Amino acid sequence: MNLYEHTIVARQDTSPAQIKQLTEKYSKIVEKNDGEIVQTEEWGLLNLAYDIKKNKKGTYIHFKIKGLGKIIEDHFKDGTKYGVNISYHREKKPLGTAGSLRSINVDKNNPIIVTNGDVITEVNYSEILDYHKTHHADATMAVRTVDQENPYGVVEAEGVKFKNIIEKPITKISVNAGIYVLNNKAIQLTPKNSKYDMTDLFSKLRKKNKNTVIFPIHENLKEYGSRNDINKKKK
């Protein structure tokens, strides 16, 4: 069986009893489909990167799962049907979004594109690759701009003197789009056979003064973490 990680974000007003019910319901779904819950972690109430249906926070529940990854291989096979060449890497333990990069065979003289598996986008990957090369980057992260509404009235003051109040201002922030371009030197900074996320890698690159750049994207980009997300899009 392959190992997977899955995080559920519940509404911020979800009660502990409802969280327990949600966890039990999800576990039954996994087991019904021949999977196994290896570990469950309750991360508590955390801020969201951007609003989801006006919610600013969410209650995070993280699952580590053993599942039948062979279903994906059986469907796509070697990619011949789709005009591409597909190979598969099986992790013996979860290695994070960057931890498995040292285990795959890559061309050491050319950068590679890494993208999260649940990202569907109209982004031109050739443009990202050209951008990476033009900027002589060691690593490139695609980002998109989203509006973030502050739930409070923001007060401006000088010392104790009131100057102004702005009711629930909206600010624009850049968020990670889950698409990256990496040189071999960047990949070599990831530890062997250890859990390592892409955020860890970019932080390490920055500390080592490597050339890390961002690529702003404006095309449509959606993340589909489940079949329900896809069904909603179809509607």
Residues 6+ apart with CB under 8 A from 190: 98, 99, 101, 102, 196, 201
DSSP bridge pairs for 146: 173
> Distance from first CA to last CA of the chain, Å, rounded?
33
Using one digit for the tens of pLDDT, what is the confidence trace for 157-187?
Answer: 999 999 999 998 888 888 898 999 999 999 9
216 vs 21: CA distance, rounded Å: 40
As assigned by CATH, the class of the 1-94 domain is alpha beta
Q: What CATH number has the domain spanning 96-235?
A: 3.90.550.10
Reported as half-sphere exposure (CB side, CA atoms, 13 A), residue 125 has a value of: 12
The model's pLDDT over 11-34, given as tens digits with 9 standing for 90+, comes to: 888 899 999 998 998 888 888 877
Kindly name the residue from 81, 93, 108, 168 that is annotated as catalytic. 168
Q: What is the pTM of this model?
A: 0.64
pLDDT over threshold 60, residue 227:
no
Q: So where are the chain's domains?
A: 1-94, 96-235
- Told to judge if 161 belongs to the known catalytic residues of this protein, a careful annotator would answer no
- For 100-109, write each residue's pLDDT tens digit: 898 887 788 8
Name the β-bridge partners of 7. 62
C-alpha torsion sign, points 51, 54, 58, 61: negative
